Amino acid sequence: MPPAPRPAGISARQRMLQIFVPLLALGFGLVVWQWIVWAYEIPRYILPGPADTAIALLTDSATLWPALLVTLRITFMALAMAMVGGVFLAVIIVQSRWLELALSPYTVILQVTPIIAIAPLILIYAPDTQTALMICAFLVAFFPILSNMIQGLKSVDHHLIDLFELYGASRWQSLVYLRLPASLPFLMVGLRIAGGLSLIAAVVAEFAAGSAGQGSGLAFRLIEAQYRLNLPRMFAALVLLCGAGIAIYGLTSFVAWLALRRWHESAVRREG
């Protein structure tokens, strides 16, 4: 009898398990949480259960959802600006060793100073809170993109550089056809780091801002709920932030996959 080919179902089943096991574990955690709340009759102003949280998500949606949108808008605007700015500055910086040296003190200072410490200052100088939050998120997202992009632009295969020189490529042609595509994997690493960081910065800066009123983000709603000891709403806001983080991670990973899927090792499945 010829050896039976490995049934294709196994890998499919494994993939199903890879999705279901984490989901099952999560569901189990929720059930235990709910059970504890019930069994010990913990009042919901001390520890709301998953059900209370879900109810708060619905009943408070009028305040929470707009706040989520505000936070997401700040995060994505900052991320987009950081992408454009980071790539642009990286391209300029690698043109000249001297320029890189001259700019290095500023990049180091901005990078090593904790953003939470700069936020109050930015809040004073910026025309409004929204702008201040965006600047904070931008500053944090900017550096991973800048430094990864610089690294990428510098890591281009020397033989390929020779090749372009041999065929008389202009600076512009080398940039567009060689340096930018070659640094795409590095840029994608930067983007994935920056995505998570800019959400954190948007939240942290809003804690520092603490101002009330229209157009507040989720972080402010969180603090507001804390003052009122509205724990279900706090949990609901946390759930939304967590969801936003996951969505940003998923989205940046998806963008990276789109950009690299055809050629880069990181996005191509290794075939055994």
Q: Which is nearer to other proteins, 126 or 175 (CB)?
A: 175
For other proteins, which residue of 59, 104, 113, 173 counts as binding (CB under 8 A)? 173
What is the spatial distance between Cα 187 and Cα 198, in angstroms, rounded to a whole number? 16
Closest CB 191 distance from other proteins, rounded Å = 17
Please pick, from the candidates 162, 226, 243, 258, the single residue that binds other proteins as defined by CB under 8 A: 162
Listed ranges 31-39, 101-109, 135-143, 257-265: which one lies at the site for other proteins (CB under 8 A): 257-265
For position 187 contacting other proteins by CB under 8 A, the verdict is no
Among 36, 69, 242, 268, binds other proteins (CB under 8 A): 268
264 binds other proteins (CB under 8 A): yes
Nearer to other proteins, 128 or 162 (CB): 162
The minimum distance between CB 78 and other proteins, in angstroms, equals: 28
Q: State the burial class of residue 47 (Cβ atoms within 10 Å of its Cβ: 0-12, 13-18, 19+).
A: middle
Number of amino acids touching other proteins (CB under 8 A):
22
Nearer to other proteins, 54 or 182 (CB): 182
Beta-carbon contacts of residue 183 (< 8 Å; ≥ 6 apart): 149, 151, 152, 153, 155, 156
Query: Which residue among 85, 181, 196, 245 contacts other proteins (CB under 8 A)?
Result: 181
Decide: is 257 part of the binding site for other proteins (CB under 8 A). no
Tell which positions 121-160 bind other proteins, by CB under 8 A: 157, 159-160
Say whether residue 167 binds other proteins (CB under 8 A).
yes
Q: Is 165 in the site for other proteins (CB under 8 A)?
A: yes
Of these, 45, 65, 254, 263, which contacts other proteins (CB under 8 A)? 263
Rounded to the nearest whole angstrom, what is the least distance from the CB of residue 254 to other proteins in the complex? 18
DSSP string, the chain: -PPPPPPTHHHHHHHHHHHHHHHHHHHHHHHHHHHHHHHTT--TTT---HHHHHHHHHHTHHHHHHHHHHHHHHHHHHHHHHHHHHHHHHHHHTT-HHHHHHHHHHHHHHHHS-HHHHHHHHHHHSSSHHHHHHHHHHHHHHHHHHHHHHHHHHT--HHHHHHHHHTT--HHHIIIIIIHHHHHHHHHHHHHHHHHHHHHHHHHHHHHH---STT--HHHHHHHHHHTT-HHHHHHHHHHHHHHHHHHHHHHHHHHHHHHTTT-TTTSPPP-
Q: Which is nearer to other proteins, 41 or 271 (CB)?
A: 271
| 270 near other proteins, judged by CB under 8 A | no
Q: Give the binding site for other proteins (CB under 8 A).
A: 157, 159-160, 162-169, 173, 177-178, 181-182, 184, 262-265, 268
